[in-house]
Chain A
């Protein structure tokens, strides 16, 4: 998609350092006082004008969180986080939620423009629909800036199909029954430390509902941007695909370069009913810290899908190039008979990045199927761990799983680790696991260079080849962006 590629190029040319999204937007912000206590939870809820039930829900989560401890089992190292030394609410100052993009602070729009998000739906949102066959296939975008959603595009057009795509704050008011029915049913408040924290203080995120039998006509996408200092981002996304529906959803994320570490603890819940399919793609490019390991985002995220319906399907695809630390295991609970879960992942750990990522496939229904393809790339002093669980319950007769974990090493100071957990309690199930570790070979580099490719282009080509099985799962527009990102993330990793 030329628009994205061009903007990426522009962004690259305006910033000279390795991370091209590191700029900061100077915009008037509104903060909650620093720290975390019940009053802050109440403050957030009040700010968002929430109904009483949601405040109670948050307070329950907060009470649970206070009794919990940070998980320490992941293969990542970081100093203790002071949860009282951060802001839990930061929002661009504006009186009311803007009714159209015209009312959105132009500085904000410029930021998203710089990031390559086609908010050119600006005009479309204002009512001017693009003509048929004009330009690219539209992508509906929800843009989340620090704690709040600032703009959602194409809402009207989607509404014609009965599809709801809005910020979760808006959904709480406009579709309270739906939110109440599903919120926390996939990832309960007390699921884990970060999920509990998120449940207490989540500020915004996207909400999607696709009604029975509807195939969503465009990609839905959310763009997350952390901008403010000392701020955590806690977004919550809830997607419900009703019977026989289909939706493809993308998320992208970036943050300014800062010396401090910033926390991102999101929760994503997906529900697929009978014969529904959800495709969820992520290109995660949070600031990874500098080449000495200073700064960067702690990406502690809980993503889970319930394949509740028969023949339902959820496919996770992730390209994780950013963050100082990634702790993330997008999972599928395969409840419905014949339901399918997929996980395709590329994770890069360059310089001092640490990634501990993988998936959980929980087979409960009969003949459930799961596929896991994980590609880990380690460079510099990066440490990359694949951690995956495949659990087959006694009820899941004839369940199938296939797992493939490949690791690629660049240089000799990085590490790759594979930690598969397989718990099979069903005799008729079949579980397969394959793993490889390889290095970019000198002869491959020389072969490419002898054909005129620069060393970095050669690495990019080889790495993209290594990741091909995953990248081909991404929607086209994202695949191009992801390929460039892989190469940029590995700049300076050889030689």
Chain B
């Protein structure tokens, strides 16, 4: 399940944000994308997930050899792609349990697996929630409604843990988290780690990468990847800041 991005350019409301991105995330690897504000990190994640209004103007993206850009958002999810939102969306009145189960069953259906009934689902959800230190009443509340910032992020990781994607994009999942929550979230991601799971961890800070140690780090500046390297690149950025790479770009 390799994600391969070649020469990707994209615009939002007529403004070019991605200026030609080349990136390959081989199966089983975790890559981090770091970059200053406004470098196009979130745009990249939305383009990959297929959000409306994010216009691809050039380049290709393949996922396991399949043309990802030709797929609807739900088809990308069915293909095994998962986006953990930077700002998870509230769905008033929609119970979290119902939402999670509906999503899980939609994915299971495409995989040819039997749907889970309410009891089977509850059992599974409780198990996953315990690992993420989530109180059970979060199942009963409306999706993300009056969740704290940390609860929202945990809820994203819970969805990932339930849907078992082949490739997860974590869009600034660390933002707004205290150190304890950060560890819990990182544990959730690390638990998925294995030969069948790859991830693109998008972050502004190096902090998260102490807990989710990436195989590769890429630096995104002004819509282009300007440097790539091993985990030590993140440390270097932490010390020197983005100014040096920005100057290089």
Contact = CB atoms under 8 A, between A and B. Distances in A.
Given A446-B73, A452-B163, A462-B94, A457 B102 contact: yes
A442 interface: yes
Most A CB within 10 A of own CB, among B49, B91, B142, B163? B91
A465 B91 CA distance: 7
B24 interface: no
Given A457-B102, A461-B99, A450 B93 contact: no
A466 interface: yes
Given A442-B52, A446-B52, A465-B93, A452 B88 contact: no
B103 A447 contact: no
Given A454-B74, A462-B94, A465-B92, A447 B85 contact: yes
A353 B53 CA distance: 31
A453 B74 contact: yes
Given A446-B51, A446-B52, A465-B142, A453 B93 contact: no
B93 A464 contact: yes
A97 interface: no
Contact of B92 (A446, A451, A466): A466
B89 interface: yes
Contacts of A450: 49-51, 73-74, 76-77, 82-83, 85
A370 to B, nearest CB: 23
Nearest to B81: A450
A450 B83 CA distance: 7
B109 to A, nearest CB: 9
Nearest to A467: B93
B72 interface: yes
A180 interface: no
Contact of B72 (A442, A443, A449, A457): A449
B94 A447 contact: no
Contact of A452 (B52, B90, B94, B106): B106
A465 B83 contact: no
A444 interface: yes
Contacts of A444: 89-91
B159 A451 contact: yes
B34 interface: no
A467 to B, nearest CB: 7
A454 B73 CA distance: 9
Contacts of B139: none
B77 A466 contact: no
A443 B49 CA distance: 12
A468 B145 CA distance: 14
Chain B: number of interface residues, binned into ranges: 20 to 34
Most B CB within 10 A of own CB, among A452, A462, A466? A452
B173 to A, nearest CB: 15
Contact of A447 (B76, B88, B92, B93): B88
B99 A452 contact: no
A362 to B, nearest CB: 30
A277 B154 CA distance: 44
B154 to A, nearest CB: 16
A451 B49 CA distance: 10
B107 A452 contact: yes
Most A CB within 10 A of own CB, among B78, B83, B106? B106
B57 interface: no
Contacts of B77: 449-452
B110 interface: yes
Contacts of B73: 446, 449-450
A467 B94 CA distance: 9
Interface in A431-475: 441-444, 446-455, 457, 461-462, 464-469
A457 B94 CA distance: 13
A164 B106 CA distance: 47
A469 B163 CA distance: 29
Given A446-B52, A452-B77, A469 B93 contact: yes
Nearest to B106: A452
A187 B98 CA distance: 42
Most A CB within 10 A of own CB, among B53, B73, B76, B94? B73
B209 to A, nearest CB: 24
A444 B99 CA distance: 12
B52 A447 contact: no
10 contacts: A444-B89, A447-B88, A450-B51, A452-B103, A453-B102, A461-B91, A461-B102, A462-B91, A462-B94, A468-B94
Interface of B: 49-53, 72-74, 76-78, 82-83, 85, 88-94, 98-99, 102-103, 106-107, 110, 142-143, 159, 163
